[in-house]
Chain A
């Protein structure tokens, strides 16, 4: 099972290398969005910076993850159906999107710091929070993209389905991020919040593994 997941993962990575235009497309999307922000607001304060950062992460994720199911044609899905189990398929997709989103999150963090000032006090923490956040958002949107692909719809439906569902995690992440900006937290609160987010991630993964087989058969 592990080897099959790995093979599916390898296939996704290989596809990404073959069709570089989608990858560069997302990079350009990140760069241009942040550039627009840079032109429109000058040196935002920590709260605005935080809010903007996570909102942009959300949009990046919709664009990066949306294609993961939409790009698979009907015939190819049928082929996967015959060679792999749904659990292997969704796990491979989630790992792939997770890695992709982590990379994108870190890149956008770098661009944010370059263009829009750096209000972060504890950079190491914030990098950790960004990686955790990118992982949480990408996992949720993988399942949403699987649902939206069934409806033969575009990225708009992913946003409609995903935004309300991701809100609790996003609120927790925004709150946790404040720990990296000078805000003082009660003893143990940071750990509590991180564990809560990780717990939610585990819940999402479990739900995806349970529910995806029902989306898969056609």
Chain B
């Protein structure tokens, strides 16, 4: 029970996010209006994705340091759940775009698809798609773990500029593009209303913990399946 406090915390934070997110007062800005509530879901998905990919990256480094298959299973499953969060981020983003960019700003589909942040996220999903394809093309487990760890580390390093640098250089519909002066969107204290912050920060923690929770369940299952194999390796 002592080890599970963060699962309870995740549950409580998410209950707070959903209840508070839909019922508490939010600032009503032009075009955005009530859709700003999606901040608690959409933006948190990307935070969760990046944190999970980061964790996967760390476990890949750990694998290369000790060659323990446990770390490879961790890296694989964190990457899988990270990709899942990325897809959820797209899904929540579509809803948001539908009520702001499409109906109120009457942007064409073409200009929305050209969004630098959409492209960055697509690159992320493609990279991890390639990671899973690479994993699938090996039969030898040790070789699979080693080569995919190398690719994971390299890909994560290349993902960084595509998500954090390029969207800052080109014009964008998202906040935080050059010219809008808002800097890092949603993290800047001048940019985000204190009413939003009260739910937004707990929501990030809650969703990320949920992602870690799902990942640990998958990892446990995998560890159980490979039990005999892992024991042979470690002994």
Interface positions, chain B 114-143, Cβ under 8 Å from A, are: 119, 123, 126-127, 129-130, 133-134, 137-138, 143
Q: What 1/0 mask marks residues of chain A from 177 to 218 whose CB sits below 8 Å from any chain B CB?
A: 000000000000000010010001001100110010011001
- What's the minimum C-beta distance from A110 to chain B, rounded to whole angstroms? 30
Q: Quick check: is A172 within 8 A (CB to CB) of the other chain?
A: yes
> Considering the chains assembled together, what is the distance between the CA atoms of A157 and B123 in angstroms?
17
Contacts of A208 in B (CB 8 A): 154
Q: Using Cβ atoms and an 8 Å threshold, which residues of chain B touch A168?
A: 123, 158, 161-162, 165-166
Whole-angstrom distance between the Cβ of A105 and the nearest chain B Cβ: 21
Count, A-B residue pairs, CB within 8 A: 75
Q: Is the CB of B127 within 8 A of A164?
A: yes
Least CB distance from A32 to B in Å reads 28
SS class, residues of chain A in contact with chain B: helix
A153 close to B (CB within 8 Å): yes
Q: Chain B: which residue is nearest A159 at the CB level?
A: B130
Which of chain B's residues have a CB closer than 8 A to the CB of A196?
161, 165, 169
A168-B134 Cα distance, complex, nearest whole Å: 21
Q: Which of the four size classes fits the interface of chain B? A: 20 to 34
A151 contacts B130, C-beta separation under 8 Å: no
Distance between A21 CB and nearest chain B CB, rounded to angstroms:
28
Interface residues of chain B: helix, strand, loop or mixed (majority): helix
Among B20-28, B40-48, B145-153, B225-233, the stretch in contact with A: B145-153
Contacts known (A151-B137, A163-B126); A171 close to B119, Cβ less than 8 A? yes
Q: Which residue of A lies closest to B128 (CB)?
A: A164
**CB of A78 closer than 8 Å to a CB of B:** no
Known: A151-B147, A168-B123. A157 touches B137 (CB 8 A): yes
Q: Which chain B residue shows the least CB distance to A150?
A: B147
Interchain CA distance A84-B162 in the complex, whole Å: 35
CA distance A163 to B143 in the complex (A): 23
Q: Are B150 and A147 in contact (CB under 8 A)?
A: yes
Which among A143, A153, A160, A200 is the interface contact of B154 at CB below 8 angstroms?
A143
> In the complex the two chains form, is A207's CB within 8 Å of B137's CB?
no
Chain B residue contacts of A157, Cβ below 8 A:
133-134, 137
- Is the C-beta of B157 less than 8 angstroms from some C-beta in chain A? yes
B134 with A165: CB separation less than 8 A? no
B166:A203 contact, CB within 8 angstroms: no
Report the Cα distance A171→B161, complex, angstroms: 11
Contacts of A171 in B (CB 8 A): 119, 162, 166
- Indicate if A56 sits at the interface (CB-CB under 8 A): no
| Additional 12 contacts, C-beta under 8 A, given A147-B150, A151-B137 | A157-B137, A161-B130, A161-B133, A164-B129, A165-B127, A165-B155, A167-B123, A168-B162, A171-B162, A171-B166, A175-B170, A203-B158
A-B contacts, 27 of them at CB < 8 A, read A147-B134, A147-B147, A147-B151, A150-B143, A151-B137, A151-B147, A157-B133, A157-B137, A160-B130, A161-B130, A161-B133, A161-B134, A161-B151, A163-B126, A164-B123, A165-B154, A167-B119, A167-B123, A171-B166, A175-B170, A193-B169, A196-B169, A200-B161, A204-B158, A207-B153, A211-B153, A214-B146
**What is B's interface to A at a CB cutoff of 8 Å?**
64, 119, 123, 126-127, 129-130, 133-134, 137-138, 143, 146-147, 149-151, 153-155, 157-158, 161-162, 165-166, 169-170
